[in-house]
Structure 1
Amino acid sequence: MEIDENYYLANRLRSGDYDAFDLLIEKYYNNLYVYALKLINEQCKAEDIVQNVFTNIWISRKNINPELSIKSFLYKSVYNEFIDQYRKNKPVLYLEKIYLESLERTVENDYKNFDKLLVKLDIEINKLPTKCRKIFLLNKKEGLTHKEIADYLGISTKTIEGHMTKAYKILSYKLGDMYNNILFILFSGPSTT
């Protein structure tokens, strides 16, 4: 969305234009949902986060600054809603605090391009060797522990750990330094191992 479109849409929202709100939802809902899902890894909670963001935007629409990027504002709002829900649901331990701080730094620096980063990450995950990719996705997307994957596939947990290490090494090598924070955020949060 160009600056003029952003300014025009923001002003329409500020004036209470329902069509502008519908356009906002149509344009950004799916990408924000994918982003929230990457953060929280639960479909229902990701939907709740995005719906809360849109509800809050409508309620406080008169405070929208037309000079600021709506897209950036939406991503930041999803991040803030995730943090609020995360803190409500459990006490923050030291390692989780590091995780959340890393998430905040990355969101601050990269949320404008976050959807592009996710596409590139998905492409590289799909290029992993078949068994390695399957194990990686069972752990990081489906939330299965190493033991559960080992039982499911009929192999040892050491084999699972080997494939997970290999996946991280390949992704880090292929994606480079700028993706290390993204890898840490998306796949090294609260552990399922």
Structure 2
Amino acid sequence: MAGSSIDIKTIEGLWNGDHKAFETVFLTYYNKTKAFIYGYVKSESDAEELAEDLFVNLWINRQAINTAKSFDAYLYTIARNAAINYLNHKYIHLAYTNNFQPDEAGSTSEEDLIAKELGLLIDDLVNKMPEQRKQIYILSRNEGLSNGEIAERLHTSKRNVESQLSLALKEIRKAIFAFILALL
């Protein structure tokens, strides 16, 4: 995320809650951050969402910024962590919803039970979603349709499909995270 960076006064302003300083930071780094995250997640809408979340959290946790250290390095680290966390959640979700096949022997190892439980949790969550979100999620994840194909089939906009899918995945990520925390 090299390139133009901001001065210490702007970072100190951000730390002190100056909205103008935050706007400067956002305008300076948003596109670079989004592009950097995209390099990991390979999805424009997910990179956009993660970058937006990153800046919201940056504002909320602005006083955690060490003004004596490199702001670029700090932002790079939190962007990388956000992308890696997202991928971890995505792969856990894929492993437990798409690839879970119990063996013929009917194995009941702890891992299988956890996988079944997580699969049921996600199914339950999907079933409780608003009807359109549920349909979009199922068409995307279970039938493998693209956002454009889903929009066509459901007579809605591609943007709505992306938005609903994003909300569904955010809900599922939260549930998986809570589930994993409960296991620890």
TM-score, length basis structure 2:
0.46
**If you compute each CA radius of gyration, which structure gives the higher value, 1 or 2?**
2
TM-score, length basis structure 1:
0.44
Considering fraction of residues, name the structure with more helix: 1
